[in-house]
Chains A and B, each alone.
Chain A
């Protein structure tokens, strides 16, 4: 059982925007600005898409954006493209002994 909660799946048509939520507690998402998001295509390693809630690493499209309100962080993908179809995981630093926790992942389907 994951420490963070994500929807199992989200879908959208090409060009649309979708948002994936990641809900935790005051011990993780709500307590620190250390939420990151990862994209994982089947059989591949995860790829960092957003770090520290809102920041994009170099080379990541500005179609990907992150935000946070209270204990819930969100990843928004705008202008949905076929290659965005993948699993997306959120992660947060936590003040518990676990140190880092992940969500169970959200499967994004481009219709």
Chain B
């Protein structure tokens, strides 16, 4: 069955960097666009970034553009999010999500999330 395992979260100081990973299994990875979606403590969901199945298309929320970079390694079925210049308002649980090529605009499958805390 489809499984997404998020990892890499932790406590980091403002201005520092962190790299999140998502290991995918149970489906044809290249047939899915992959998203990162975050949820601040006690708050709603916020879309962060998307990458196409072949990795050629990427897009970002305005709040992270220029600071975060989404990437994927289709040979290893992994998704990554490089987060630089972190700010306290980046504190959230980060979920990776898979969206089938036939319906990009819904988040079909979700990882369990990894908590990122930005604090001095």
**Interfacial residues, chain A to chain B (CB-CB below 8 A):** 2, 32, 34, 36, 38, 45-48, 51-52, 57, 89, 91, 93, 97-105
Contacts and interface: CB of A to CB of B under 8 A. Distances in A.
Nearest to A102: B45
Contacts of A38: 45, 107
B47 A102 contact: yes
A55 to B, nearest CB: 8
B45 A48 contact: no
B106 A51 contact: yes
Nearest to A99: B59
B108 interface: yes
Interface string B35-65: 1010000001111001000000001011000
Contact of B106 (A34, A102, A105): A34
B110 interface: yes
A84 to B, nearest CB: 19
Contact of B44 (A32, A57, A97, A105): A105
